[in-house]
Amino acid sequence: MQLKRVVVTGLGAITPLGCTVEEYWNNLLAGKSGAAPITRFDASKFKTRFACEVKGFKVEDYLDKKEARKVDTFTQYGIAAAAQAVADAGISPENVNLDRVGVIWGSGIGGLDTFQQETFAFAKGDGTPRFNPFFIPKMISDICPGHISMRYGFRGPNFTTVSACASSTNAIIDAATYIKLGKADIIVTGGSEAAVNESGVGGFNALQALSTRNDSPETASRPFDKERDGFVLGEGGAGLVLEELEHALKRGAKIYAEVVGGGMSADAHHITAPHPEGLGALNVMKNALQDAGMSADEIDYINVHGTSTPLGDVAESKAILGVFGEHAYKLNISSTKSMTGHLLGAAGAIEAMASILAVKNDIIPPTINHFTDDDALDNKLNFTFNTAQKRLVRAALSNTFGFGGHNASVIVKKYA
């Protein structure tokens, strides 16, 4: 069968760098850090006392107070990001068939804050089970796309992908695949996460995964720097409207970029550590290129997973060299996690968005906080350290790798 072409016609963002796409993108290009001391709870006794929190978010712009209390923060972020994307795409019941509009969303953890609040309340009580009737509907990871579909009456495919930090990249790949196969005209996709709480910070501290650079939060996320000591926890979400090309053209939609391929793989190695030679990362990038029908030298930019962990950054750079060979030295590579922190299941969505905007605007957001070269890396690679760089960006690849060895990569290119 002839596969359909898939384009991006809408974007929305709720991030530590801003609660609109414009704010997010401008702050990325400016090299601004979203890290600061934690305000969500008293973190004074934690090993890590800072995070990349969403700032200035007004849930009442998207939900009334009564409805907002019925949903976890991760769903609030998801509803808001999707609402921006739907408005940006100009979707209305008059110009779409609601039966053929779906929502495929990614979240690695879901309603952790709700689970924590309800558990804390029960533990403080007398043992009598008094739980909020919305406890389960607030907590479950799949509830966010359900709420988005109900908000607009979208009756197409509707589910959540859960693959740790690869979750929303998997959602984007699934969304593009459904459209390519003709099973939907439009899918609202992306991801959201809200794990900046005692359980989230405490759990990742126990894994020794987070930076403990409490004296300088804004420089703590430093991918590919010799002194990196772990990632910075982030929160937020991003929404993308993917649409079948002819459908988009017929309704006169603006087009940001084309989604041309996606790859998936497993490390099959360790629950949290990457394969030391980057085998899973190498395979997933090869799979994405094969799916896109592209050669390695057609890629100009890689938005890397680049979490700022000692093992992960080395493994990913090895994989890039393995896939791209000599062309690797002509690439721009950057980790926007250096600014946003790590949004866990939502990371893929905000980073795919950064890749889309890089393709559209021919500019590469930087990897900030580079101070010292790491001899374990090939420092001839262009990691776009500290300053954005202008260049022609024909196509970009976005990597996300999750605990459990889950890997997902998506490729976007200029629409023509």
Retrieve residue 34's tokens. Answer: 């979203």
Mean pLDDT of 22-26: 98
Both tokens assigned to 252: 């006169």
Q: How far apart are CA 235 and CA 197, in angstroms?
A: 10
CA proximity to 102, closest of 194, 11, 51, 176 = 176
Query: How far is residue 58's CA from residue 249's CA, in Å, rounded to a whole number?
Result: 34
Mean pLDDT value of segment 318-326: 98
- Which pLDDT does position 206 carry in this prediction? 98
pLDDT, position 1: 80
Q: What percent of the chain has pLDDT over 90?
A: 100
For residue 102, give both structure tokens: 């779906």
Report field, pTM of the whole predicted structure over 0.85: yes
Q: Which two tokens stand for residue 308?
A: 């700022």
Q: With 90 as the cut, is the pLDDT of residue 246 above it? A: yes
Per residue, the 3-state secondary structure of the chain, as one string, reads: CCCCCEEEEEEEEEECCECCHHHHHHHHHCCCCCCEECCCCCCCCCCCCEEECCCCCCHHHCCCHHHHCCCCHHHHHHHHHHHHHHHHHCCCCCCCCHHHEEEEEECCCCCHHHHHHHHHHHHHCCCCCCCCCCHHHHHCCCHHHHHHHHHHCCCCCEEEECECECHHHHHHHHHHHHHHCCCCCEEEEEEEECCCCHHHHHHHHHCCCECCCCCCHHHCCCCCCCCCCCECEECEEEEEEEEEHHHHHHCCCCCCEEEEEEEEEECCCCCCCCCCCCHHHHHHHHHHHHHHCCCHHHCCEEECCCCCCHHHHHHHHHHHHHHHHHHHHHCEEECCHHHHCECHHHHHHHHHHHHHHHHHHCEECCECCCCCCCCCCCCCCCCCECCCEECCCCEEEEEEEECCCEEEEEEEECCC
Q: How far is CA 173 from the centre of its chain?
A: 13
CB 171 within 8 A of CB 160: yes
269-314 pLDDT per residue, tens = 999 999 999 999 999 999 999 999 999 999 999 999 999 999 999 9
How far is 119 from 111, CA to CA, in rounded Å? 12
Length of the chain: 416
Count Cβ atoms below 10 Å from residue 377 Cβ, excluding itself.
18
Average pLDDT estimate for 97-125: 97
Residue recorded with tokens 């558990």? 119
Per residue in 139-168, pLDDT (tens digit) is 999 999 999 999 999 999 999 999 999 999
Given a cut of 90, is residue 254 above it in pLDDT? yes
Q: Is the pLDDT score of 411 beyond 90? A: yes
CA-based torsion, 294, 282, 332, 397: positive or negative: positive
Task: State the catalytic residues.
Answer: 165, 305, 342
| Cβ 264 vs Cβ 271: under 8 Å | no
Sheet containing strand 101-106, strands side by side: 158-161, 101-106, 186-193, 236-244, 6-14, 257-266, 406-413, 395-402, 301-303, 332-334
* Nearest-angstrom CA–CA distance, 276 and 14: 34
Residue 183 has pLDDT above 90, yes or no: yes
Give the pLDDT of residue 139. Answer: 97
Query: Partners of 238 in the beta sheet?
Result: 13, 191
Question: Residue 73 has which token pair?
Answer: 């923060």
Average pLDDT over every residue of 379-403: 98
Neighbours of 206 (CB within 10 A): 10
Q: State how far the Cα of 109 lies from the Cα of 330, in Å rounded to an integer.
A: 37
Q: What is the pLDDT of residues 164-179, one digit of tens each?
A: 999 999 999 999 999 9
What's the number of CA atoms in the CB half-sphere (13 Å) around residue 297?
A: 3
Mean pLDDT of the chain, nearest integer: 97
